[in-house]
Amino acid sequence: MNKVLVAEDNILKQNNIKDILKSHNIAFKLVETYSDCWKILYYDHSDYNRLILDMSMPRYKDDDKIYKFAGLDILKRLYYSKINIPTIILTGHVQFTVDKIINDIDSVINMIEKDDRISNAKVIRYDTKSTLWEKEIISFIIGKELKWEF
């Protein structure tokens, strides 16, 4: 049985992800902060065979500040800790502004794909107007391409 760690702070996205995973009988644990995600990955990573990771989330519970590249930082920490877990970065943002520099989603995807420290990671765009992201997540979790009827 698959068990997925979901790191997501947005309630709407959480509920949509939970609905998808439950409808496919996939076990999961949900965390909402960077620190909770990293703590579980560091100490209990063998309990999970997939990770759904938000690109931006707060560092700590009740923290008002959002860490813009939390997902990217976690991927790098996984590498340095020699933890190999296939990961989906699920983001609804089309751009990220860090230090007054605007990074569009395509440049972020390119940065992730070209970083040798990041493997087993794929960026999926979250869009409530489409079901493509849902199909990509299920395909990623069960480990094979799915055929979809339209």
Nearest residue to 122 (alpha-carbon basis) of 80, 71, 77: 71
- Model pLDDT for residues 56-90, shown as the tens digit of each residue: 888 888 777 776 678 888 988 998 899 989 998 88
**pLDDT of the residue at 6:** 97
Contact 73, 66 (CB under 8 A): no
Other Cβ atoms within 10 Å of 78 Cβ, number: 24
Give the residue-averaged pLDDT of 15-41. 94
> Is the pLDDT at 51 greater than 90, yes or no?
yes
Q: Which of 12, 52, 59, 60 is nearest to 29 (CA)?
A: 52
Q: Specify the pLDDT at position 143.
A: 73
Q: Tell me the mean pLDDT in the region 108-131.
A: 72
Rounded CA separation 68/57 (Å): 7
Nearest to 39 by CA among 22, 24, 18, 60: 60
Q: At what angle do helices 105-114 and 70-80 cross, to 10 degrees?
A: 0
